[in-house]
Structure 1
Amino acid sequence: MPAVTADTLTLPRLAAPVPGPVPGSAARPRPVRSVTAAPSGYEGEGFPVRRAFAGVPHSVLDPFIHMDQMGEVEYAPGEPKGTPWHPHRGFETVTYIIDGVFEHQDSAGGGGTITDGDTQWMTAGSGLLHIEKPPEHLVVSGGLFHGVQLWVNLPRAHKFHLPRYQDIRARQAALLASPDGGALLRVIAGELGGHAGPGVTFTPITLVHATLSPGARLEVPWEPGFNALAYVLAGQGDVGAERRPVRKGHLAVFGAGGGPLTLGAGTGQPQAEPNLEVLLLGGRPIREPVVHYGPFVMNTRAEILQAMEDYQAGRLGVVPAERVPHADGPVPGKE
């Protein structure tokens, strides 16, 4: 699981949580509300996924809608799969690649190739068509593929914003170390301990990939008005002051409060997963009605019906003839 690696001894250190109101005390860690296991399924043309948010009520996920862990899978030659062209409206997709390569192209001119540690942030807004697929050379050769796709809701005021595409390279993520150097944190969006990630968001959120060495413990200061989720990408450990056990495919939902999020990596890890890998995410709840139907996330059923009608009438865009640009080349229409 390469994503982005670094020597934690040379990185800026994450400050310890702010002390509590009583001298010598620390802010109480957020309690763990629930731990759920993600069921497995298939997406697109048949690539395996874990449905990270399955069974979790929207009220505690808000402003997030959906998240898939894609892979981790070792493809044989000819096996890599993607998605066909399909529409989106009313939300943003955030695709973070940990291992492997993925290509994106959309009808608004956005697109590119992302690989280890890169992120594609696509604001569908008023609507577009897009496709995600492995490059031809990966289809021919096969290889490892592992990533995450997160759906972030848009507030009513931005549901019909013009589509926007952000191409975030791995080297742009803000890198931090825990106070003792036992954990590496990659800030993709939002702010953590005064260090901001590169992702530009309509809804205030924080998105962090944390790697904890065996036996390491981590306290992460968290915005009091944000919800807080921890999804385990690999390894095993515990969450919360109560040390609830978690392992790969588990989602921990933290309760409300202004305290830090606490995590710990087990001293023994699976042979193929030497560290505890966790995606930390949270945001300011939008608290608006949500009607979700397939690739459309709107506020009312009438808006869903209109989205379907607009798609069928070709008003969400047409499939472009251009090929996906190279990762290091220009991205047409990129903001």
Structure 2
Amino acid sequence: MQSPIGLIVEERAANIGNFMVGRLLPFREKRAVGPFVFIDHMGPACLKEYQNVDVPPHPHIGISTLTYLFDGAIFHNDSLGNGVEIKPGEVNWMTAGKGVVHSERTPEYLRKRDKYLHGFQIWIGLPKDKEKVAPSFFHYDKSEIPVWEENGIEFKLIAGEISGKKSPVQVHSPLYFLEIKTKRAQKINIGERLFGEVGMYVLSGTVKVEGNDYGTKQLLIAKNPSLCEFETNGETIIYLFGGEPFPEERFMFWNFVSSDKEELENAKENWKAQNLDVFPKIPGDDKEFVPLPEPPFKSK
């Protein structure tokens, strides 16, 4: 019988300062899964009292960003005037649209103590007619995120819509980002609920697909969402994400994503020139910024 898995992507670790990030998307053989164009698995990392997350102001265009933590805290500041701490189980959803600037830092009360950090940072492409919308930001408390149980299986719909359930996160195209937890070995057939393209990431535990076991640090991409049937081998946490792919290809340079390569060039020039009409300063965090990468950084 032919395997339902079309591609297995190994998580590629990268050191971005005080913690490790496991890059899942994009990948050479698969640039996106549905509208999802970029997924980083942050940590898990233990930061000492002298180690802090300090990602200075940097720009985005053409995407929505989703930050979801399992442990730790990050303080988000942006050029819209938002200053919000995100904690485990909460969702930060920022739509860059025509242009936004934000920074991510360890909150002040944690900066001189040991702390943990673990979570996802995700970029989701915008439909072509929404790539230049006005930027916006929403923060969702964990109590707002739908959770339910079926046959001993715990579900949490972090974003999107599936099986009559809908997350409050203001997405811009048909998608889903779903957490599934089991405490014992269990068969799960969720294929009839899915649509578009689907990827599976095993955060902890293992899953069995067609007699083969897959564990952490692997992203499984299904050939067909209707074939999404698997078995957990015990206490397991997995994430399913995907949705309808866009008809146009998305191009990426650094933090910029667009269906039009010319828009990437415009964004590069505007950031390099610090054009405040496109990329305003962040109130209270305007003393530094991440410079535009120089060659050999290339468009993808």
TM-score by length of 2: 0.87
Amino acid at match of 2:221: V
Question: C-alpha distance in 2, partners of 1:47/1:223?
Answer: 36
- Which range moves more in the overlay, 94-103 or 105-114? 105-114
RMSD: 2.3
Partner of 1:74 in structure 2?
46
Whole-angstrom CA distance in 1 between matches of 2:212 and 2:197 = 18
| Structure 2 portions without partners, runs of 5+ | 287-300
Residue of structure 2 in register with 1:303 after alignment: 263
Separation in 1, partners of 2:133, 2:166: 24
Asked whether the equivalents of residues 146 and 156 of structure 2 are also in contact (C-alpha less than 8 Å), the reply is yes
Evaluate the alpha carbon distance shift between residue 54 and residue 291 of structure 1 in structure 2; reply closer, same or farther with a 3 A threshold. closer
Which secondary structure state, in structure 2, belongs to the residue aligned with residue 216 of structure 1? strand
Q: Percent identity?
A: 25
The aligned counterpart of 1:37 is: 10
**Mapped pair 1:146 → 2:106:** no
How much has 1:134 moved relative to structure 2?
1.4
| 8 A Cα contact 2:77 2:104, kept in partner | yes
In the TM superposition, residue 250 of structure 1 has moved relative to its aligned partner by 0.7
1:53 equivalent in alignment to 2:25: yes
In structure 2, how many angstroms separate the alpha carbons of the residues matched to 1:131 and 1:205?
26
Q: Is the 8 A contact 2:79 2:100 kept in 1?
A: yes
Match of 1:121 in 2: 93
Would you say the 8 A contact 2:162–2:194 is kept in 1?
no
What whole-Å deviation, never above 9, does each CA across 1:280-312 have from its counterpart, x for those lacking one?
Answer: 101111121322000100122211111112222
Shift in alpha-carbon separation, 1:222–1:129, aligned structure 2, 3 A: farther
| Cα distance, 1:81 vs structure 2 | 1.7
- The 1:221/1:173 distance shift into structure 2, 3 A limit, reads farther
Letter of the 2:230 counterpart: L
Gaps of at least 5 residues in structure 1 are 1-28, 268-274, 324-335
Q: Distance in 2 between matches of 1:191 and 1:293?
A: 29
- Offset from partner CA, 1:51-84 (integer Å, 9 cap, x none): 0125353465231111000111122222232311
Distance across 1 between alignment mates of 2:260 and 2:204: 37
Correspondence list, 1:275-294, <5 A = 275-294=235-254
DSSP 3-state at the match of 2:112: helix
Deviations 1:195-239 (A, max 9, x none): 211211111111111112231232224555411111112222224
Could you list the per-position Cα deviations for residues 228-265 of structure 1 after superposition, in whole angstroms to 9, with x for gaps in the alignment?
Answer: 111112222224xx1432111110101125x2622322
- Identify, as 1 or 2, the structure richer in strand: 2
**Structure 1 CA distance for aligned equivalents of residues 76 and 3 of structure 2:** 37
Aligned to 1:265: 232
1:321 deviates by: 2.0
Counterpart among 278, 302, 320 of residue 283 in structure 2: 320
Q: 2:54 aligns to what SS in structure 1?
A: coil
- Matched residue type, 1:316: F
Give the TM-score normalised by the residue count of structure 1.
0.78
SS in 2 for 1:74: strand
